[in-house]
Amino acid sequence: MKLFPNGRLQPPPLTNAWTATVLLTPPGGQVAPVKPSDQLAVAYVTYNQTDHSNRQIRFQIFLLESLKYFDVLFRTEGDVTSWWSLVSTPDQLGGVPSNAFGPFSTSVVVPGGNFLADYGFAHVGSWNVIGRTRDGFVLKNKIPPKNKNDGPGGTWVWCDTVSNALARMMTTRQDNEALIPIFGAYYLSDFCEISKNTNADWPGILKVCDRAKSVGSVTSTMLTLVDLLQGMSEVPQEAFSSCVFGDIQRLLPGILPDMNGIVVPTWTNRVNSECFMMGQELAPFYCQLWYDWDKGVQVTVFVYPDDEGSYTSRFDEMLPKGHVGPENDYVWDGTQWKLRCYKKSGGFVPMPVPNFVAAGQGRCRAAFKNDPYFSSNSIWSVALDANEDVANFWYMFNDQQQGVIFSLSPAGSLTLIDYQTFKQNAQIQDCVFYDPQGKIPMCSDEMMSAVKNVGFLPRNANANK
């Protein structure tokens, strides 16, 4: 009832022309990082579909930390896609570039207006994303990963419930299975603003591309984030320029240039939350979190769909302080949940400390004050394993230190949590933490195969002390 208040929805078509401001969050743990490789980027995106066989999308990208700027355009004509590196200035949003390099071949494809339906995206629920109601869709026609390290996850797209406009994309795999330019190379793409009104001079822009300068060997396929950064390093340096923070503030008015005064967020000793969690499965989990640091235990309730898509499966993960706890498996009998069995060691990590951001040496990557989209939120990253550069935890908190987003990329299990409620200093009854282990049978091997292991926090020793 919470996920499908209006039933199952069909994926909406997109307009033939739009512009958007998008915050791009990269996956962590890149095996071969390329410089500059900033942790956040902002893109001004212009899209145009003349007809289904002729589509263009342009990304004017501002790197948040190194204050570098570059401009890249993709064009799909029939079955062929090419890309150009454009020469423009940061204050020239949507304008005609002065020069271009290319065309270069690429394996990505500019999506058409009906790409959600054409690609096989299916509606998996509607819930709040950063305070706004969104309809979530997942690519169900999965493409097997070429590399086992790409993981079993998928590509997610959220559209605004009212306008049907793009609101967020998430790629849990790093191989860009849907072949979407730029968005598919990043982990998260938050559409902070999107408009159907575009005055872009596409004939003028494409005319510059038609007389573009050819350059030597540019080998990048522009598929993944590493490909993107490699491609930008291969084109002439004339295509790269510097920007100032004011250029970024023009796109995100509430972003703060100085994060030194931002308070490191921390949980209170008691927290209760309702949330939706995206793992490696192609459907969200409904979750309830019950956390009491003084009692030394956390319980997380996970409700997830069966093979037919009905939410009839549940397990409760017990996270005691200092060691990994059991999972209690339930089955829905049509009217209520019934305990079935327990798994002795179901989790990956013990109960987290309330100040897990500081304990994991978290860094504030961006902070906002009264921004039209991000309000007064802050974005933090924590390395899963700083010594191995395995992945990044990404957290978003509001200015009341309430959780908004909790995520990990790349992830073997948990990917992203969208908090729907976040109650600090919650009053929690003792019965919530009752553990029936010993009064129910241990799960058989067959039963255990249906129980999902969900890792919740970094296995960084400092984060759990």
Q: What percent of the chain has pLDDT over 70?
A: 89
pLDDT of residue 454: 44
- Domain assignment of residue 73, given as a range: 17-251
Beta-carbon contacts of 286 under 8 Å, excluding residues fewer than 6 positions away, are 2, 3, 276, 302, 303, 304, 311
Residue 411 lies in a domain: yes
Q: pLDDT per residue over 66-108, tens digit each? A: 999 999 999 999 999 999 999 999 999 999 999 999 999 999 9
Checking DSSP bridges between strand 241-242 and strand 68-77, what pairing results, if any?
antiparallel
Give the mean pLDDT of 194-222: 90
**Residues 236 and 265 occupy one common structural domain:** no
**In the prediction, which pLDDT does 305 show?**
93
Give per-residue pLDDT as tens, 131-189.
999 999 999 876 666 665 555 678 999 999 999 999 999 998 888 999 999 999 999 99
Q: What is the pLDDT of residues 362-374, one digit of tens each?
A: 999 999 999 999 9
Q: Last residue of some domain: 208, 226, 251?
A: 251
Mean pLDDT within 51-65: 94
Mean pLDDT within 345-357: 83
Q: How confident is the model at residue 413 (pLDDT cuts 50, 70, 90)?
A: confident
Q: Which residues contact 245 (CB under 8 A, 6 or more apart)?
A: 67, 257
Examine residue 49 and state whether it is found in any structural domain, yes or no: yes
Residues 101 and 222 in one domain: yes
228 and 354 belong to one structural domain: no
Give the whole-angstrom CA distance, residue 382 versus residue 362. 5
Both 262 and 405 in one domain: the answer is: yes
Residues 144-153 have pLDDT tens digits of 666 655 556 7
pLDDT band at 439 (very low <50, low <70, confident <90, very high): confident
Looking at the structure, tell me whether residues 231 and 261 fall in a common domain: no
Cα separation, 133 vs 128, whole angstroms: 4
**162 belongs to a structural domain:** yes
Same domain, 304 and 193: no
Last residue of a domain, one of 206, 226, 251: 251
Token digits of residue 374: 């991000």
Give the pLDDT of residue 146.
65
pLDDT at 437: 79
Tell me the DSSP string of 330-354.
EEE-SSSEEEEEEESS--SS-PPPT
The predicted structure's pLDDT at residue 348: 67
How high is the mean pLDDT of the chain? 89
CATH code at position 450: 2.50.20.30
User: For residue 212, what are its two tokens?
Assistant: 């573009």
pLDDT higher than threshold 70 for residue 450: no
CATH of the domain at 195: 2.50.20.10
Is there a domain that residue 154 lies in?
A: yes
The answer to whether residues 218 and 261 belong to one domain is: no
Q: What is the full DSSP assignment across 254-279? A: TB-S--TTPPPP---SEEEEEEEEE-
| pLDDT tier for residue 462 given thresholds of 50, 70 and 90 | very low
Identify whether 11 is part of a domain: no
Last residue in a domain, options 198, 232, 251: 251
Looking at per-residue confidence, does 85 or 465 come out higher?
85
pLDDT above 70 for 455:
no
**Could you tell me the pLDDT band of residue 448, with boundaries at 50, 70 and 90?**
very low
CA-closest candidate to residue 292, choices 385, 401, 157, 431: 431
Q: Is 10 a domain residue?
A: no
pLDDT digits (tens, 9 = 90+) for 24-41: 999 886 654 445 568 899
Is residue 21 located within the same domain as residue 69?
yes
Q: Which residue has the tokens 């769909």?
A: 305
Q: Same structural domain for residues 171 and 221?
A: yes
Cβ contact 132:107 at 8 Å = no
pLDDT at 394: 94
Q: Report the number of distinct structural domains present in the chain.
A: 2
Do 308 and 327 lie in a common domain? yes
Q: pLDDT for 308-331, tens place per residue?
A: 889 999 999 999 998 888 899 999
Residue 7 in domain: no
270/300 same-domain check: yes
Among 244-248, 263-267, 288-292, 441-445, the minimum mean pLDDT is found in: 441-445
Q: Are residues 169 and 45 in the same domain?
A: yes
Whether 9 is covered by a domain: the verdict is no
